[in-house]
Each structure stands twice: as structure tokens, then as C-alpha cells.
Amino acid sequence: MRFDVITLFPELFAPFLSIGITRRAFESGQVDVQCTNPRDFATGNYRRVDDRPFGGGPGMVMMAQPLELALAHIRSQRTDHAPVVLFSPIGKRLDHAAVQRWSASSGAVLVCGRYEGIDQRFIDTQVHEQISLGDFVLSGGEVPAIALLDAVARLQPGVLSDADSHHLDSFNPSLDGLLDCPHYTRPEEWAGVTVPDVLMSGHHGQIERWRRDQRLKLTAQHRPDLLDVARAAGLLSRQDEAVLQAQG
């Protein structure tokens, strides 16, 4: 798949593409990421990509024309009709199901805004979809773009270890069903706190039940909305319900 990124700061992307478990996916081109800088398509001595907002007010607005030329350049390199995505709090919240869809797609053109925003005419005529990471404002769309690329890359075949690859299964409730259980590693006692006995017991059946109980309790406590979804999807057993009942 190929993701084109329209950004005034392409140098932000290289470090993320060259580290960690996702590096191989990016470096092999399994997830091909190409950055295009609208400044390269700006005209005039000053190569301006922003201007003052009509109607007045603070800050600057990204001009439509350099963005449109950057997009046309990308379209000339792609043979598909890849959707154009803008990262903005207006958009639909990104979740695991959407990441799974993107990870099985042929890619997209990711537009990263800067300044106060983008000329609305570019959004109205060129953007197919807006994606939000949450109800907060950043200084640019680059961090959300990197978040999406990271989430998509780790779902590519061969990126996760065998032990973790159940995350690839869209029916596995590991993320969209319940929250993850707590993890512990050496030493057995740290800062006066010991690891739960069951994890040291070697009883794999008991360990699995304890982890399931922890996930149920954590989800009930922190994300009761996810618990309702899991229940409606038929992902909770009678034993799960009994554990939740006992907990109150």
C-alpha cells in the first residue's frame, strides 16, 4: 500500500519510519510512505503557502493552490483513486476497526494542516474524509498522520510476533472488546511491591482466568461503554458475567 503525505514538515516523518517493530514494514515498502511538500509547489519569490484570513482575525491560513498542486503531483504518480484524508477534530474518531480497514487498503493521501487551518475550498473540493484522534487541538496534522501510519504498519503481516498476531484478527476482542490486562516483569519485588502470586504459580489455566478477570474489571471500571459493546457482540461468557456481578 502507499500513503502519500502532504506536509510542510516532511523531515518529521523519517525518524518514525526508521525505528521499532514497524521499521521493516516501512523500509521494505510494504507500507510505502511518500511525503510531498506544498512549499515546492508555491509560486513567487517567497514561495508562500499561507496568507491572512479573509474577514480578519489572528493567524494565517494555508492557501488552496499549493495544496492542490501537491495533490495533482501525487495523483500523477498514483494509478488508483486514493481517498484524501484530512486530520482534524471535526472528523470521525479513529478506532481499531478503522485502522484495520486502512491496513487492508491500498492507502490514501494524508493532508497535514498547519497554522489556523486550510482554505475551506480545498477541503470542500478535494477532501473525502476527516479523521480525529480526539477532542483537542494540535499545532498540525503531522502527529495524527504518524499515529495512523504507526497503527497501520503494526498490523501488516510479519510485523507483530506470532504471540501478538491475534491482534490481526478482526474478531479477536483483544482491543475492540476489552482493555488489556496489567503486565509485570522482573524483579519479582520492586519498590516494596510484589507481582501477583498467580503469575508466579505456573498454573496456566489460573493465569488465563486471572488475566480475563483483570480485563473485565478494568474495562468495567474505566470503559463501561466498551463492556456494553462486548456484551452486545456476544463476547462475554456466563463466567465473565458472574465475575462482573461478584465485583458489583
Active site residue 144: no
215 binds ligand 9WO (CB under 6 A): no
Q: What is the DSSP string of 109-139?
A: EEE---TT-B-HHHHHHH--EEEESSS---S
Contact map string, positions 115 to 154, toward ligand 9WO, x by CB under 6 A: x-x--------------xxx-xxxxxx--x----------
Which one of 43-51, 71-79, 86-94, 202-210 is the stretch in contact with ligand 9WO (CB under 6 A)? 86-94
53 binds ligand 9WO (CB under 6 A): no
Residue among 135, 142, 137 nearest 94 (CA): 135
12 binds ligand 9WO (CB under 6 A): no
Catalytic entry in 80, 129, 169, 208: 169
Specify the DSSP element, H or E, that contains 238: helix 238-247
Distance between first and last Cα of the chain: 47
Catalytic entry in 2, 114, 154, 215: 154
10 binds ligand 9WO (CB under 6 A): no
- Measured from the Cβ of residue 5, the count of other Cβ atoms closer than 10 Å reads 27
Coil vs helix vs strand at 194: strand
Residue closer to ligand 9WO, measured from CB, 6 or 243: 6
Nearest-CB residue to ligand 9WO? 113
Angle at 39 between CA 36 and CA 40, to 5 degrees: 65
Active site residue 142: no
Would you please indicate which residues are annotated as catalytic (active-site) residues? 89, 116, 154, 169
